[in-house]
Amino acid sequence: MEKRPQRKSIREDERRRKRRRALTVAGMIAAVAAVFGVCRGIVACRDILAEMEMCAIREVRVVPEDAAPVVLTCLPDLRGRSLLFLNLEELGKSVSAWNQVERYRLVRVFPSVLEIHVELRRPWMRVAGTDTYFDREGIVVPAPAHPEGFWSVSGIALSHPPDDGCRRSLSLLREVERWYNQYSISALFAPDTVDISDPRTVVLRRERQSVRLRAENIGAQCEQLADILRTCARDGKKWEYIDMRWHRPSGKLSDERGTSDGH
């Protein structure tokens, strides 16, 4: 007699579990339907907004203005398209496809202007014997309006994209520039040519003067070079060359035989 109520209780528990599962499935279906409805509503609203004239692009403004002719040729005609739903990432890829652009920024200016801010690559040095200027990454750039003050480099072979040899040359030039500026050597000796034809040596020249550096440990050599140049300037000594490649630097004063320690 006791087994019948027990079997009845088991059947009731099973029915309750089935009802709970059914309610759970129904809830999930309702949630999916609600999300689907919201998504369709968002898409519909987006399409409506995209068609609204108040969101249409009326002007594409490039900053600086002199970059506009080239930048705009990299882009499709954007006038009339929705400012709200522009794919800025895709547009950015098109802008950066012009290798003269180093950095860029796209800005929506509501209600109807897209601003494209670009930072163009700047000339850094020049390939000796040519009118070819390049930036710090080895990208060829237009010649500057005023070419004075740019180092002319011998022994560099530019490639696009830069190969291993080009990258080593650029790294060496950046290292020389870094320490040259660190110790303000340009105020004492401002070279106009840099020769890196020999991978072990850097030769800096100006007219009849030259400085030779090892292509390693450049910072310590530049620190010592600055001391030697200041001593020469203080004592009124004119020199023809200074060789910093050795433990004891050597040099030659004007119209004199070579001596050690720059004297």
* pTM given for the model: 0.71
Express each pLDDT in 92-109 by its tens digit: 999 999 999 999 999 999
Amino acid 42: pLDDT? 61
Express each pLDDT in 132-191 by its tens digit: 999 999 999 999 989 899 999 999 999 988 999 999 999 999 999 999 999 999 999 999
Average pLDDT over residues 59-77: 93
Of the residues 120, 152, 168, the one at which a domain ends? 120
Amino acid 201: pLDDT? 97
Structural domain range at position 61: 54-120
Classify residue 31: in a domain, yes or no.
no
For residues 255 and 132, membership in a common domain is answered with yes
Of the residues 92, 120, 148, the one at which a domain ends? 120
Task: Find, among 148, 140, 110, the residue nearest to 123 by Cα.
Answer: 140
Express each pLDDT in 195-207 by its tens digit: 999 999 999 999 9
Read off the CATH number of the domain in which 216 is found: 3.40.50
Average pLDDT over residues 78-100: 92
For residues 76 and 172, membership in a common domain is answered with no
For residues 108 and 181, membership in a common domain is answered with no
Whether the CB-CB separation of 121 and 102 falls below 8 Å is answered with yes
Question: Could you tell me if residue 97 is left (phi over 0), alpha (psi between -120 and 50 degrees) or otherwise beta?
Answer: alpha
Whether the CB-CB separation of 114 and 60 falls below 8 Å is answered with yes
DSSP code of residue 263 = -
Express each pLDDT in 30-49 by its tens digit: 676 566 565 565 655 555 55
Segments of the chain assigned E as strands: 59-63, 101-109, 113-120, 125-127, 133-134, 140-141, 151-154, 193-195, 201-206, 209-214, 239-243, 250-253, 258-260
For residues 147 and 218, membership in a common domain is answered with yes
Mean pLDDT of the chain: 86
